Structure 1
Amino acid sequence: MIRPSLILLFGVTVVVLGACAPQSPLLGNPQAPYPPPTKPQVGDILHLRTGHFVSAGEMASAATDSRIIYVAETHDNPASHRVQLDLLKALAQRYPGRTAVAMEMFTPAQQDTLDAWVANALDEKNFLKLWYSSWKMDFAYYRDILNYCREAGIPIIGINAEKSMVQAVGRKDFAALTAEEQARLPTTLDPGDPYHQALTAAIFGGHMQGKPLDGFQRVQTLWDETMAGNIVRFLTSPQGDDIHLLVLAGGNHVRYGFGIPRRVFKQLPLSYTLIGNEELEVSEAKKKEAYMDVKLPNFPMPAYDYLVFTRYEELEKKDDVKLGIMLAEKEGKVIASGILPNGAAALAGVQTGDVLRRLDGEELTESFDLIYALKQKKIGEKGQLTVERGGETLLLDLTYTATPPLEEMHHKP
């Protein structure tokens, strides 16, 4: 009789001996070999291999024994990011001065800006220009993590692939890339992992109809191999020597271990822990908005070492100030290309074609300057907008408001 471990690990042995001895049916569920004693609740943490519930402190104590902790995230769930922050704090407290964070949200080309942020040599406004050029999620989801890195002096490492490479690989097979593009590929490239292929095919089937599967799978491979290669490059560099690394990436890059973690281990066999979260409570609106119709294959391994059960949360709602202006940029000028009726700008006398020069004394040279300045304002506050019109400079008094309701926008004042 062949032991189940041999069946899973030594396929050749099974083929040779299969004719001599019948295979036993699989015992239990390999993804959760020991069912938990009670139904998980929000706030519970389950060690999947043993079916044992642990506390946050117990998870952190065990996980920080590893050289690398991979924490999968739900990008738009604040609860997921609190798990990441708590683990980062535990790692930094255990290894002061020997901790770093690797983030999917950034690329190596942005490393100088990341270093400037950590060194407190860059303000939030200019950091946000980098953020929104590479990641579309609201900065508020990540603000606490990034601010903690800044306060504690913890290096942030950009590990993702450059957009130009993602676009090229999405269009062309690896062999069809130009010589320059091939030179920028990861040094290791394994597109044939059967589990990885099955996962990406399932995700593709859930939300990528009408696009070629092979291009999608190539991009997923590029992302995971690039991030793995950049993690290895950092940990084998003088800066990464003896560093304990927290890796923050989306669930599909971490879940089951065959995305980034296995690719790192093949190049640099260091101890690691996988941590993920599962939302037990999700509003119907969020299910319709964010959930994909994906049925994952039954993989023969647990998804994570530890699974944290959370609820799907929303960012704290904040009524943003809006001027009611459509913007255009030309030669370093921010121009009002359209005005919404009954908005703050219309009520202040702003006209189409006005050049917006300053808001409350802050110079406006690009649309982001105005957008960021308005983020700092509160509804009901007073302000002043300096505009140029027909060669004249005008100072217009504002009352900051939210965007007026649609029916008011079409109502003549």
Structure 2
Amino acid sequence: MPHPSPSILTGAPLLLFGTLALAQSAATGPVAHPPVSTGIPHTESRVLDLSSLTNMEALLDRLTDRRVIFVGESHDRYEDHLNQLAVIQGLHARGRRLAIGMEFFQQPFQADLDAYIAGTIPEAEFLRRTQYFDRWRYDYRLYRPILQFAREQRIPVIALNLASELTAKVGDVGIAGLTEEERARIPTEIDRDDPAYRQRVESVFKLHPAEQQRDLEHFLEVQLLWDEGMAERAARVLADDSECTLIVLAGSGHLEYGQGIPQRLLRRQPVPSAILLNGANRSPDPGAADFFLYPQPVELPSGGLLGVMLDNETSGNGVLVKGFGDESGAKIAGLAEGDRIVRVGGAPIANYADIRIALVDSQPGQTLPVEIERKRLIGGDERLTFLVELH
């Protein structure tokens, strides 16, 4: 798949500070001048030396001796995922034996990931088994090229994240409220002693609406579990294979300044590492990452949509239609609120994920048959099929 060739910032940026220079005298040597009070505040300016900008190939050459490489992302930014793919492909081409750790899959589904990478189950079954559309929900096509390349090359993909049932319960009752069986599934080592980490979590907590601000300590514990859980799982990969290079793909908030996953992984496995982040709209702070990437924005092509709002909680056949979006192709075709979608394009529908899977390769303007089950005032339910133009 074509991808941009981003430039990167290599090394630490040159820092120039707005202080008075020392005058040099050839005859007397350095002479210190007292500061002159002008009433104008001094500013500390950082200067980025553009002559140090290079490209992806140069970056990959510098990464070949790292055991773990953290590549951050904004989850819905396609160019970030293309950069992740470029790093994976580049290091694979350089002969590194790789494993890919992904935030987006949860540890209980590792066997299903293994089956997909081994080629023993098709993509649709892999998405169902890992419950991707229920547990992550970002457009799967953002990650698809990475997973397809891993499958083609038989590169192990590691489910890093803890089960969402655990973190959700900790959000409600804290770690102290877990059962013994649940405690056995979380890391035994949890470092709470980084004040900068706590300060960052508190600042995120305060951004939530007031009605969602329940318990700061429970919120902090959820963040700690995410980061410690992913770090522990990644550290086991490195411990089990001393020749493996692990590429960790995760949201930038889990990686920047090393506070989330990196320092917790390196506490367990002190190995050479590097953090790569998208540098757009970010101050060039050398403490945030080892390398900043500056890709051109790339839009994921639009997928086809039915234009329906679904109720996935109500029991019954298929999935209940509870409303429609603007200019809904389904509504124009004749679907109505209360209908239950039971088939899309020939694929049987049992839940929300089935609809997402049925539409994963669809495009706007495409027409698909949609079969529904509709209640009648008299008699049993009826089955109807409509041709829906996707928007």
Q: Tell me the TM-score normalised to structure 1 length.
A: 0.71
Tell me: CA distance 1:184–1:55, structure 2 relative to 1, closer, same or farther (3 Å).
Answer: same
Tell me: CA distance 1:119–1:331, structure 2 relative to 1, closer, same or farther (3 Å).
Answer: same
Aligned identity (percent) is 31
- Equivalent residue, structure 1, for 2:289: 304
Deviations 1:381-407 (A, max 9, x none): 5554445564576553524243xxxxx
1:340 Cα deviation after fit? 8.4
Q: Could you say what secondary structure the match of 2:222 adopts? A: helix
2:133–2:353 Cα contact (<8 Å) kept: no
1:72 Cα deviation after fit? 1.5
Q: 1:231 aligns with which of 225, 230, 234?
A: 234
Quick check: 1:49 aligned with 2:12?
yes
User: Structure 1: which 5+ residue stretches go unaligned?
Assistant: 1-41, 282-295, 403-413
- Equivalent residue, structure 1, for 2:358: 373
Q: Could you say what secondary structure the match of 2:306 adopts? A: coil
Tell me: CA distance 1:369–1:191, structure 2 relative to 1, closer, same or farther (3 Å).
Answer: same
Tell me: CA distance 1:125–1:271, structure 2 relative to 1, closer, same or farther (3 Å).
Answer: same
1:198 Cα deviation after fit? 2.5
Alpha-carbon distance in 1 for matches of 2:268, 2:354: 44
Deviations 1:179-227 (A, max 9, x none): 3333333121111112222322333334465343322222221111111
Q: Residues 128-147 of structure 1: matches in 2 within 5 Å? A: 128-129=127-128, 130-147=131-148
Tell me: CA distance 1:355–1:204, structure 2 relative to 1, closer, same or farther (3 Å).
Answer: closer
- Relative to structure 2, which stretch is displaced further, 217-226 or 181-190? 181-190
Deviations 1:8-52 (A, max 9, x none): xxxxxxxxxxxxxxxxxxxxxxxxxxxxxxxxxx94311243653
1:161 Cα deviation after fit? 1.8
Amino acid at match of 1:155: P
Tell me: CA distance 1:163–1:325, structure 2 relative to 1, closer, same or farther (3 Å).
Answer: closer
1:80 Cα deviation after fit? 1.4
- Equivalent residue, structure 2, for 1:11: none
Q: Could you say what secondary structure the match of 1:214 adopts? A: helix
1:327–1:338 Cα contact (<8 Å) kept: no
- Equivalent residue, structure 1, for 2:348: 363
Tell me: CA distance 1:246–1:83, structure 2 relative to 1, closer, same or farther (3 Å).
Answer: same
1:353 Cα deviation after fit? 5.5
- Equivalent residue, structure 1, for 2:108: 109
User: Structure 2: which 5+ residue stretches go unaligned?
Assistant: 15-51
Alpha-carbon distance in 1 for matches of 2:307, 2:9: 48
Q: Could you say what secondary structure the match of 1:248 adopts? A: strand
1:111 Cα deviation after fit? 0.4
Quick check: 1:400 aligned with 2:376?
no
2:102–2:158 Cα contact (<8 Å) kept: yes
Q: 1:316 aligns with which of 301, 304, 310?
A: 301
1:276–1:308 Cα contact (<8 Å) kept: yes
Alpha-carbon distance in 1 for matches of 2:107, 2:385: 44
Alpha-carbon distance in 1 for matches of 2:74, 2:368: 38
Alpha-carbon distance in 2 for matches of 1:45, 1:160: 29
1:48–1:302 Cα contact (<8 Å) kept: no
Amino acid at match of 2:83: V
Q: Residues 78-117 of structure 1: matches in 2 within 5 Å? A: 78-95=78-95, 98-117=97-116
Amino acid at match of 1:213: L
Alpha-carbon distance in 2 for matches of 1:324, 1:258: 41
Tell me: CA distance 1:309–1:200, structure 2 relative to 1, closer, same or farther (3 Å).
Answer: same
Quick check: 1:122 aligned with 2:111?
no
Deviations 1:46-76 (A, max 9, x none): 1243653332111111112111111121222
Alpha-carbon distance in 2 for matches of 1:356, 1:53: 53
Alpha-carbon distance in 2 for matches of 1:206, 1:351: 38
- Equivalent residue, structure 1, for 2:193: 192
Alpha-carbon distance in 1 for matches of 2:134, 2:144: 16
Deviations 1:287-313 (A, max 9, x none): xxxxxxxxx9x99x6211111124555
Alpha-carbon distance in 2 for matches of 1:324, 1:204: 33
Q: Could you say what secondary structure the match of 2:249 adopts? A: strand
Name the count of aligned residue pairs. Answer: 341
Q: Residues 247-262 of structure 1: matches in 2 within 5 Å? A: 247-262=248-263
Q: Could you say what secondary structure the match of 1:190 adopts? A: coil
Tell me: CA distance 1:53–1:172, structure 2 relative to 1, closer, same or farther (3 Å).
Answer: same
RMSD (Å), alpha carbons: 3.3
Q: Could you say what secondary structure the match of 1:202 adopts? A: helix
1:330 Cα deviation after fit? 3.2
